[in-house]
Amino acid sequence: DMLSNESEKFFSKIQFTIQATLKNENIHQPIATILITGIGSTISGIAEFISEQMNCTCKTFQPHKIIQNGKIVLENNVSIPIEFTTTI
């Protein structure tokens, strides 16, 4: 059906872009997980659908939840105190 064909074309383009980026950046390991954000990530079943289409794990990720955690930890256990963070 038409939706299936368009979906296949869409994910084929995404896979091509990912593979080209990996090659360009000289990365030799496959993508293990795709994180999706934004309003589209709230669509019921979207992570499972993308996992199936892309043949890898897909999870939703809400960046604002990092801030709600209380502190952001960077490399070498340096943290950003909550008073220096904000949500947009």
- Distance from C-alpha of 79 to C-alpha of 20, rounded to nearest angstrom: 35
**CA-wise closest residue to 4 among 49, 55, 47, 59:** 49
pLDDT along the chain (88 residues), means of 10: 82 91 90 88 92 92 68 60 50
pLDDT score recorded for residue 20: 93
Q: Which helix (H) or strand (E) holds 26?
A: none
pTM for this structure? 0.63
- Distance from C-alpha of 56 to C-alpha of 33, rounded to nearest angstrom: 6
DSSP summary character for residue 56:
S
pLDDT score recorded for residue 74: 59
